[in-house]
Amino acid sequence: MTAKNILKKWFANFKKPTQEQFWAWLDSYWHKGEKIPTENIEGLDDIFGDVATKTEFQNLENEVVRLIKNIPKTGIQHSLKIDLKANVPTAFDLPENAYFYGLELLENGTISIGTNEENPNDLGEVNFEETPILEIGLTKISRIWISADMDTSVEPIIYVKG
């Protein structure tokens, strides 16, 4: 890279830069068509140095799921295994002292979950290959409807008030 003050001298009024000087000028700058390597961007590590990688985030997510499964009886728990038939909406009634948290897919398939049979996906949809858990967040609801695109099994995750 040629310093700016040198380049300016080569291209001053009434000067005629040589081919080598012109090429040196071009080589001193990033072309719009070139990708700038991240290690050449000053301060980028300071900005993104503490951001988790995709693998680190997935490991953390797996650990959270493991911890949720091991919470004692009062608290978040998996309630029971529900076997689903393809394209047949299935109702699941929650206990009176429970809040719905999410749904874990135990086998392949795409699952829709909703608040009524007519709208069986208003709470969300999840594909086993993308992620085995659909997290809704704690929701007070008495019944959920679950529908699958193929025969499969799921486990509702609920929070039971002690």
Q: What is the pTM of this model?
A: 0.48
pLDDT digits (tens, 9 = 90+) for 31-87: 888 898 888 888 887 777 777 788 888 888 888 777 766 655 455 555 578 888 888
8 Å CB contact between 141 and 94? yes
pLDDT digits (tens, 9 = 90+) for 78-91: 557 888 888 888 88
* All structural domains of the chain: 4-48 (no CATH), 74-160 (2.60.120.10)
Q: Which tokens go with 76?
A: 């978040």
List, in sequence order, every residue forming a beta bridge with 150; answer none if it has no partner. Answer: none
Q: Which tokens go with 21?
A: 């000087």
pLDDT digits (tens, 9 = 90+) for 103-128: 888 888 888 888 877 777 788 888 87
Report how far residue 133's alpha carbon sits from residue 114's, in angstroms, rounded to the nearest whole number: 15
- Distance from the first to the final alpha carbon of the chain: 69
Confidence band, pLDDT 50/70/90 cuts, at residue 20:
very high
Report DSSP letters for 130-144, one per residue: T-SEEEEEEE--SEE
